[in-house]
Structure 1
Amino acid sequence: MPGRAKLAELVNRREPLAFRFADDGFVPNHPRWPMLVYPGAVTLPDGVDPASVVEELFRSNGWGDGWRNGIFAYVHYHSRIHEVLGIARGMAEVRFGGDKGKVLTVKAGDVAILPAGTGHQRLSSSSDLLVVGAYPPFGTYDLCIRVEQHEAALRTIPEVGRPEKDPVYGREGPLLTAWQEG
């Protein structure tokens, strides 16, 4: 695992791509905040476990309860918590925002930050895909996959507060500007 100084050297300052998605009747998406994608935000050097680099970066910025896996191949969202996805290895085509959303290709070193309510679904991936996910220090993990969950999600999504830190860039991150309170 890289030390703090080495970790800082592996972070590449990137302007985020911001995406807003409308409620499609199944996936509510977030009513105010965009999903952010930082292409190539993290350099993943040879000889180091790439997932440990991403995990440590998120952890150093207060995003925890991390996991390593892929992205579910069915449409889902989280109505009570935000989520960050760091691509540690491989690549994937992911539809964000539900069936009427946008398909993006994400690859090793990319990071996507999903405000509560943002639909996501893996459409395809390389066989070596490895994703690191994490959450801010508040909120409750839930998995919304049924249209019957939509109405309750409309109430809970706006109640999930803004994190104090961007999971990649900390207190100076673009998330804090893009996700304004109020």
Structure 2
Amino acid sequence: MSTPESSPGHVVDLDEDDWKELKEITIEFLSKYDALYEKRVQKLIFYCEIKTAIKTGQRLTDATFMPYDYGPYSREVTKALEELDEEGRISIRDNGQYATALDGGSLSPKKTYLIERFHEETKRMSTDELVERAKETWLWKHFEYAEGMDFATYIDEIIMSPELRHCLEDPDRDPVEDPDIERLLS
């Protein structure tokens, strides 16, 4: 897979907590499969970014994604895979696929739940279908090749209608357990 490692101005820029969480999210995805190519890991995390934003008004990670050769790409996800391999928490098979023997990542129950739900939704989708869905998003259509996608604008201006914003701002509401959130989003 072609990577933009030499792209000017694109540096892995996550604080320590966000970096650790991205690695745990990566392990959580890998734990649900026998093995995955990096392209699919990238697309699954991006797809869950979109679905998490729609479902909760927040992001799954703070990784930077950009439109790239084979759909959305994040240098941080690539670096997370490399570091997890160096740590021995995942392995790279002879065919280039990543795998883990771990049962999952160390995540909040909310993020674990969201990833499980999105896994159920995506496990039968091909990687090409994930790429096509990504290319249908506002984020893909509004950012240039190798330009960082602005999730904050996407969430604030595209996803968050006034009705949904009011609902999500209720301090007693848990967005993961709210069965009406789907109705509000349609």
TM, length-normalised to structure 1: 0.26
TM, length-normalised to structure 2: 0.26
Between Structure 1 and Structure 2, the one with more strand by share is 1
Between Structure 1 and Structure 2, the one with more helix by share is 2
Larger radius of gyration: 2
